[in-house]
Amino acid sequence: MSRIKDFNLPDLGEGLTEGEILTWLVSVGDTIELNQPIVEVETAKAAVEIPAKWAGKIAKIHVEAGTTVEVGAPIVSIDTDPSAGDLPSPPVGDLPSSLPAPSAESLAAVEIAPEEGAVEPGLIGGPAPGGRTAVLVGYGPKSVTAKRRPRLGTTTAAQPAVESPARALAKPPVRKLAKDLGVDLLSLVGTGPLGSITRDDVRSAVATPAAAPAVVDAPPVVSLDGSREQRIPIKGVRKLTAQNMVTSAFTAPHVTEFLTVDVTRTMKTLEKLKARPEFRDVRLSPLLFVAKAALVAIKRHPLVNSTWSGATNEIVVKDYVNLGIAAATERGLIVPNVKDAGQLTLRELADALNGLVEVAKSGKTPPSDMAGGTFSISNVGVFGVDTGTPILPPGESAILAFGVIRPTPWVHKGKIKIRQVTTLGLSFDHRIIDGELGSRFLRDIGRFLEHPTDALLAWT
């Protein structure tokens, strides 16, 4: 059995077919241990570290960082028995001895393109690297030296100068620039090869124009050549998110309802909770109460926690809640979820939510944490946004947007007072949830946040 083993990109689950090599954690020649992380890979779900399948020595890295690799393709070779000694290395840079050396006659038959009269390297009919003649693929090299037609006002030995409507010598991008800037190419003297007109020639003509009648209020002409554009590859998490959002938006008929809520009592209860001994070492935020309110409302309206199955022509109602929390990361939007969140205590729920956020910030959320969600919350309030119309994650029938909490004039007990107010937005699949059910569900979440203590005692 060979001591050199190829380590292939493993199947990371959830139907993933490829991954991008983000960072190599080892180098060629490093000695590694079994299950030692050797590479960080970004899939369409998250960035994960992959451990070594064998102990040994890194013999070869097949794929550079930044390359997208299909599942099953070799990414690194590992010497599983480095103590046996170094492997022989094949000669590098030597030509195989079986190849004959070129003869003097064949070298003499090579025609080198002359320097005088040559066109720019890479142009059809001009010299290519190595002294060859550049030609169109499939048309073969020209049998004569490439020539250009004479410019207006010049002569050759075979052709006298004649006045003709010949075009100025300039490349297409230069012609476009001249057209955009309103410059007549025939009026310019080119400084490029063979007297061709360059971009600098055109810009110089604009900078120092010839005397001409004044033009009143001539609009400025802007050259849009792409130099001020940035192109971001669509891949990884962002690519999968885009595909899912398009599928969801054009598959499930969305309806969104809004509710503005006085959450002053929730904020006061949150401060009391922070003072309790069992919550002093945990980060608490209003999102905890919004999550609890949604879980309580789902118990009262279980049809909200379901999915539409076109394959079986059924509505599948879930008796468990995998609560998703939308998180913005450097690689795009992800929605990890707290498994069986409805069974957790308030302290356990707080710990789980904080854990999701911390892992998401680190970019290490595993695919398993993003699979199987049943209901999600998008906390747009952290960005100072009042609310939104969120798109359903695939397979879910409802998602809640939680807006920023603002001090707002509010009618409270018959008087206008400054209260803590937020706006909720609920998007739902109208195939499953009709207007009445969606409205009752959203209203129950609002009542919980208006009177959290009463709701906890009465509904749980």
- The pLDDT tens digits for 156-208 are 444 444 344 476 787 777 787 888 888 888 888 888 877 888 888 888 887 76
> What stretches in the chain show pLDDT beneath 70?
1, 13-15, 44-45, 85-165, 167, 208-226, 458-460
Q: Where in the chain is the domain with CATH 2.40.50.100?
A: 4-81
pLDDT at 60: 93
Closest CA to 52 of 29, 70, 75: 75
pLDDT at 153: 46
pLDDT at 363: 80
Class of domain 172-207: few secondary structures
* Catalytic option among 62, 254, 301, 430: 430
Cα-based angle 375, 379, 383 (whole degrees, multiple of 5): 160
Instruction: Give the tens place of pLDDT for each residue, 83-111.
Output: 876 655 544 444 444 445 555 454 444 44
pLDDT at 167: 64
412 is catalytic: no
Torsion of CA 63, 67, 71, 76, to 10 degrees: 10
pLDDT at 285: 95
Helix (H) or strand (E) holding 31: strand 31-32
Helix (H) or strand (E) holding 176: helix 172-181
37 φ, ψ to 5°? Answer: -60, 130
State which CATH number among 2.70.160.11, 2.40.50.100, 3.90.79.10, 3.20.20.60 fits the domain covering 4-81: 2.40.50.100
Query: Helix, strand, or coil here: 246?
Result: helix
Q: Where in the chain is the domain with CATH 4.10.320?
A: 172-207
CATH superfamily, domain at 237-459: Chloramphenicol acetyltransferase-like domain (3.30.559.10)
Q: Where in the chain is the domain with CATH 3.30.559.10?
A: 237-459
Is residue 338 within 8 Å of 379, Cβ to Cβ?
Answer: no
